[in-house]
Every structure is written in structure tokens, then in C-alpha cells.
């Protein structure tokens, strides 16, 4: 193979475009040895060959042709993006500099003038072919890289899509499982609550039933004795006093049951059953303290109420009253330590915006310096039926009701801090305007 063979591994093809057979023959004879030569005897034919399936690697183009001149041929070739890189060398008569410049601006690679020296023609052709080979080599590498990159990009896109689908599926599954969990927890909580209510009511109702059936037996006995003429005054008096004791027991049991029912009703207290309006908090707290003055004085408990100014809430006064009622009641029931002066303090702080920065909230702290709450049970005091005074009238529903009301209709939150022997603090955060709708239910604290 000759020195002119290309790096791409084929013999270069040169297209000679000229309408004079003499010129064609001359150039062919110079090129034939090293190159494959194609010939076009006019512009139209040349363009056909160039645009055909096997384009040449270089074009020797005569400028002066009769039908279509070399410039026009050049312009049309350069207009085809697939062929525009093929080097074109113009061939013309001697010393026509204007032609040379014009040709170069059209994109011609070079210029040779007639009469030509074969050595120079070959040298120029060789140079331009080498350049063209390099350009094509580079182009093909760039193309290959682009294809590779496109593959890679596609691969990444597929991967991301696949992962996104996987994540979406996982998320869906997680939500389904969580939904089920919440559902089953709510059911468990409801079961727990119902069992607690039944258990609480069972004692007074059981006592009542038992007493009533005893009274029934006694009455039958009395009836029999009367029919047999055996009833005397003493026997009758005995019966009367037994009946009084039994009635008293029934009375107490039924009252206890009624009290329990009224407490249970408070558990389910909702917005619809309460009246919402504007009210002053300071005024409401003072009313509450006044209402309990007798209870506090009887136990020598000191009360203190600190506030900066009156606050007006657009909320549910009955709910807040119930909350204060339960919290204050707990202070005289649970906090007192024998032979120690008990102090109960209420501190109302000025309103501030909450964490979200959206709502104005007030902070109310109710503290006592009493017995305090054991750290082991501190997290359970808001649970339903949790009490440390079982059998002493404690229902364990007081703080549960408080929690429901505060986080429900009142739209706030409550927390407790305590130290055994140093007292307890209940901290309430309440929005100045209660939420319009509440989704919190009686299950939230039941566990």
C-alpha cells in the first residue's frame, strides 16, 4: 500500500471536477498511482457523486466551468452538513488572486494554479487528506463518546426510575401498615376504655343488686311470718333497721354509679356539646378559686394567683373550668404532706407566639409544693384509670379528662414536671383562639 493510504484503512478517493478533458487526463495521470480517481465533467454530476453513497475523500474543483461554476458547486457541497468537511481544492489558471480569496471564503481548503507541478499537487493533496482523516477520526471518537454517554445517562435514568418506583411502593406499604396499626391501637384503646368503665361501674351496681336481693329475701320472710301469725313487734323493728341500712347502701352505690357516669360523659366532651365564646381568663380562674375556697380553707391550703394582665380567649370556658377543677382537686387530694403547709400557685404568663409563629398562646402554670409524683409513674398520670388512690374514691380519670380537653377542644398542650417531696407543676399552653375543628378523640390517651 502506498504512503497515501488513509489511517481509516482504505485507499483515498479523489474526485476531479473539470469540463476540459485535457485537464482531467493530466490530473488523473498524476493521481492514479496513489489514489482512486473519480471524474465529473460538470458541477451537477459532481454534486451527485458527492451526495451519493460513496463520497470522495477530497475534491479537485475547477472554477471556470461552462454550466455551473466551481464556486456554486463548492457552495452546494458546503451546504450539506454530511459532506461539508470534505476538503475542496480549487484549480484555476495562473495568478487570479481574487478567485483565490473568493474560493477560500466559500470554505475551500486550498488552491492550486495551472500549470501545476505534480509534486506540489501531490504534496498538497496528501496534507489535506491527512487533516481530513484526523478530523474524521476525532469526529468518530466524539460520536462514540456521545453514544457511550447517552447509554450511561439512559442507564442512570432507568436506575433512578426503578428506585423511585421501589420507594413509592415501600412508602405505600408503610402507610398501609401504619394505618392498620393505628386502627388496631384505637380498637385496643377503645376495648381498654370500655373494660375500665365496666369495671368501675361493676362495684356499685353489684352492691346494689346484692342488697336489693337480700331485701327481697327479708321481705318474703316477713310475709311468711305475717301469714303464720308469728310477726311480733321486735321482729318488725329488726326488719325496719335492716332495711334502713340496706337502703343507705343502695343509695350510696347508686350515687357512686351516677357520679362515674357523669365523669365518663366528660371523657367524650366535644366541641358540639360546649359553648364557644370570648371570656377573660383571669376572671375565670378567680371564680374557680372562689368556688373552692371552702375546700382549701378546711385543709389550711394557701392559694396564690399571679398574673400580669387579663387575657381574652375565644374558646370553651366550660372546658377550661373543668381542667382547672380537676387540677385543683388533685392538689388537695394528692399533694398534702402531714404537718406541712401546702401552697398552690397559679401563674399566668403573658401571651406569646407558638413554635410555628402562627398562633398566640398563653401559658398557665399550676404548681404545688406538696408530695410530688414518683418518676416511675410520672409518664402514666394522664392515662385513663391510672390512680394511686384506688379504693379511696380515685377514678384515675381526672387527668385523662384534662388531657383530652386541653389537646382536644382547647387546642393546646399540657405537660407535667415533678420532684418527690418538692411538689408538682402542670404547664398548660393554650391558644388564644381555639381551633375551629378538632380531630383528637377519646382514644388519644387511652393505651
Ligand X SMILES: Nc1ncnc2c1ncn2[C@@H]1O[C@H](COP(=O)(O)OP(=O)(O)O)[C@@H](O)[C@H]1O
45 vs 403, beta carbon nearer Mg ion: 403
Binding residue (CB under 6 A) for ligand X from 92, 208, 369, 395: 395
Contact stretch for Mg ion (CB under 5 A) within 78-86, 115-123, 398-406, 407-415: 398-406
- Does 369 bind ligand X (CB under 6 A)? Our answer is no
124 vs 445, beta carbon nearer ligand X: 445
- Residue closest to 421 by CA, chosen among 327, 303, 300, 335: 335
Contact stretch for Mg ion (CB under 5 A) within 37-45, 117-125, 285-293, 322-330: 322-330
Contact stretch for ligand X (CB under 6 A) within 34-42, 147-155, 292-300, 380-388: 380-388
Coil/strand/helix, residue 421: coil
266 vs 334, beta carbon nearer ligand X: 334
Residues touching ligand X, count (CB under 6 A) = 23
Query: Pairing relation of β-strands 13-17 and 36-40?
Result: parallel
- Does 388 bind ligand X (CB under 6 A)? Our answer is yes
Write the DSSP string, 129-153. HHHHHHHHHHHHHHHHHHHHHHHHH
Separation between Cα atoms, residue 111 and residue 95, nearest integer Å: 11
Find the binding residues for ligand X in span 294-333 (CB under 6 A).
326, 330-331, 333
Binding residue (CB under 6 A) for ligand X from 124, 266, 359, 371: 371
- Does 340 bind ligand X (CB under 6 A)? Our answer is no
- Min. distance of Cβ 325 from Mg ion in angstroms? 10
136 vs 347, beta carbon nearer ligand X: 347
- Does 330 bind Mg ion (CB under 5 A)? Our answer is yes
Separation between Cα atoms, residue 107 and residue 192, nearest integer Å: 91
Torsion sign across C-alpha atoms 334, 337, 338, 340? negative
Separation between Cα atoms, residue 212 and residue 275, nearest integer Å: 41
Q: Give the nearest residue (CB) to Mg ion.
A: 398
Separation between Cα atoms, residue 141 and residue 231, nearest integer Å: 126
- Residue closest to 62 by CA, chosen among 114, 17, 112: 17
Binding residue (CB under 6 A) for ligand X from 38, 266, 334, 445: 334
Contact stretch for ligand X (CB under 6 A) within 9-17, 86-94, 159-167, 381-389: 381-389
Separation between Cα atoms, residue 62 and residue 96, nearest integer Å: 13
- Does 398 bind Mg ion (CB under 5 A)? Our answer is yes
Separation between Cα atoms, residue 118 and residue 57, nearest integer Å: 19
b/e per residue 307-337 (b: at least 16 CB within 10 A):
beeebebebbbebbbbbbbbbbebbbbbbbe
> Which one of ligand X, Mg ion, none is in contact with 389 (Cβ closer than 5 to 8 A by kind)?
ligand X
- Min. distance of Cβ 229 from Mg ion in angstroms? 56
330 vs 404, beta carbon nearer Mg ion: 330
- Does 57 bind ligand X (CB under 6 A)? Our answer is no
- Does 411 bind ligand X (CB under 6 A)? Our answer is no
> Which one of Mg ion, ligand X, none is in contact with 55 (Cβ closer than 5 to 8 A by kind)?
none
Torsion sign across C-alpha atoms 329, 330, 333, 338? negative
Query: Pairing relation of β-strands 110-113 and 423-431?
Result: unpaired
Cis amide leading into 115 (omega within 30)? yes
- Residues in contact with ligand X by CB under 6 A are 326, 330-331, 333-335, 368, 370-371, 373, 381, 386-389, 394-400, 424
Amino acid at each position: 500500500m502506498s504512503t497515501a493510504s488513509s489511517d481509516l484503512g482504505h485507499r483515498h478517493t479523489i474526485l476531479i471536477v473539470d469540463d476540459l478533458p485535457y485537464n482531467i487526463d493530466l490530473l488523473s495521470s498524476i493521481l492514479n498511482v496513489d489514489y482512486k480517481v473519480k471524474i465529473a465533467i460538470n458541477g451537477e454530476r459532481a454534486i451527485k457523486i458527492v451526495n451519493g453513497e460513496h463520497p470522495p475523500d477530497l475534491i479537485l474543483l475547477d472554477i471556470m466551468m461552462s454550466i455551473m461554476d466551481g464556486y456554486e458547486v463548492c457552495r452546494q457541497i458546503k451546504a450539506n452538513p454530511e459532506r461539508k468537511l470534505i476538503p475542496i481544492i480549487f484549480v484555476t489558471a495562473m495568478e487570479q488572486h481574487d478567485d483565490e480569496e473568493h474560493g477560500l471564503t466559500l470554505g475551500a481548503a486550498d488552491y492550486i494554479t495551472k500549470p501545476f507541478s505534480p509534486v506540489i499537487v501531490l504534496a498538497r493533496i496528501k496534507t489535506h487528506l491527512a487533516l481530513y482523516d484526523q478530523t474524521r477520526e476525532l469526529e468518530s471518537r466524539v460520536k462514540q463518546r456521545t453514544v457511550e454517554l447517552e447509554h450511561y445517562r439512559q442507564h442512570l435514568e432507568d436506575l433512578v426510575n426503578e428506585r423511585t418506583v421501589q420507594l413509592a411502593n415501600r412508602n405505600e406499604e408503610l402507610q398501609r401498615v401504619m394505618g392498620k396499626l393505628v386502627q388496631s391501637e384505637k380498637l385496643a384503646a377503645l376495648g381498654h376504655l370500655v373494660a375500665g368503665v365496666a369495671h368501675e361501674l361493676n362495684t356499685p351496681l353489684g352492691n346494689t343488686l346484692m342488697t336489693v336481693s337480700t331485701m327481697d329475701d327479708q321481705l318474703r320472710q316477713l310475709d311468711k311470718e305475717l301469714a303464720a301469725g308469728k310477726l311480733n313487734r321486735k321482729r318488725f323493728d329488726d326488719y325496719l333497721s335492716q332495711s334502713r341500712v340496706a337502703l343507705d347502701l343502695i343509695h350510696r352505690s347508686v350515687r357512686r354509679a351516677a357520679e362515674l357516669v357523669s365523669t365518663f360523659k366528660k371523657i367524650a366532651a366535644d366541641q358540639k356539646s360546649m359553648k364557644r365564646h370570648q371570656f377573660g381568663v383571669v376572671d375565670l380562674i378567680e371564680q374557680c378559686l372562689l368556688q373552692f375556697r371552702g375546700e382549701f380553707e378546711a385543709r389550711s391550703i394557701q392559694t396564690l394567683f399571679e398574673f400580669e394582665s387579663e387575657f381574652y380567649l375565644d374558646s370553651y370556658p366550660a372546658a377550661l373550668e373543668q381542667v382547672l377543677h380537676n387540677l385543683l382537686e388533685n392538689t388537695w387530694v394528692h399533694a398534702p404532706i402531714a404537718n406541712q403547709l401546702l401552697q398552690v400557685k397559679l401563674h399566668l404568663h403573658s401571651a406569646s407566639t407558638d413554635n410555628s409563629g402562627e398562633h398566640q398562646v398563653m401559658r398557665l402554670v399550676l404548681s404545688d409544693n406538696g408530695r410530688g409524683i414518683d418518676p416511675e409513674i410520672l409518664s402514666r398520670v394522664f392515662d385513663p384509670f391510672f390512680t394511686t388512690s384506688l379504693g379511696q374514691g380515685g377514678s384515675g380519670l381526672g387527668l385523662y379528662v384534662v388531657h383530652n380537653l386541653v389537646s382536644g377542644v382547647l387546642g393546646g398542650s399540657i405537660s407535667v414536671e415533678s420532684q418527690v417531696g418538692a411538689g408538682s407543676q402542670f404547664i398548660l399552653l393554650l391558644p388564644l383562639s381555639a381551633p375551629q375543628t378538632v380531630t383528637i378523640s377519646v382514644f388519644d390517651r387511652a393505651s
